[in-house]
Amino acid sequence: MVGWVALMWVLTAIDGGTPRCFPGMADQPLVCEYGIEPRDPAELRDVFPAAFLHFGFDHLIANSVPLLVFGFIAALRGIGRFLGVCLIIIAISGLGVWLTSAPGSITAGASGVVFGLFGYLLVRGFVERNALDITIGVVVFLLYGSILWGVLPTASGVSWQGHLFGLIGGVLAAFWLRRSPGSPGGRGDRWRGRGRGWGGRRGLQGPPPGHPG
């Protein structure tokens, strides 16, 4: 997560810290070039890079700490699963922005990922019936629950669409990537008591009759 946030700071520094977007300008800042412009099919390629770009350091600072906190907690369950969660969040948040943002707008920033990880941490424990993750979700809500106001269109210049669809993406990721009952850290044992073969319902041990070993 430190590396992720450091990359965003480097990209913002490359843009000069206070990028401005002007239509027709030959040498656009990265955030203008790869931000999401709604309902233009060519802009679908920018859904993922837009999540790493920001409109200046103030924008970046607002996202850095919650991204570090939520990302670190989410990644404790495994890097592979965490990356899958983030891909789902970025895709759904970006597509939601592409479909619903105001004409002529450019949207970028990690806030969709922040809201997505927040939603993921809130519901993960309930989806998997894991007491520790439920406790983590409750603590995260008590500390950061006020950010939910960000899904409402109450502030001009702020992509509430990215926030809302990021939150939806995080909740969906909790369901789509939930641990199966037989996986490490999951609930119980998927195999136990299901099979009809040797060692299935009766719990018999050892090889079947006539087996060499």
Q: Which residues are catalytic?
A: 111, 163
| Residue/partner pairs of 1-10 with CB below 8 Å, 24 or more apart | 1/67, 1/68, 1/71, 1/72, 1/75, 2/68, 4/67, 4/71, 5/64, 5/67, 5/68, 7/52, 8/52, 8/53, 8/54, 8/60, 8/63, 8/64, 8/110, 9/60, 9/64
Helix spans in the chain (H) = 2-14, 30-34, 57-75, 79-100, 111-128, 131-144, 160-176
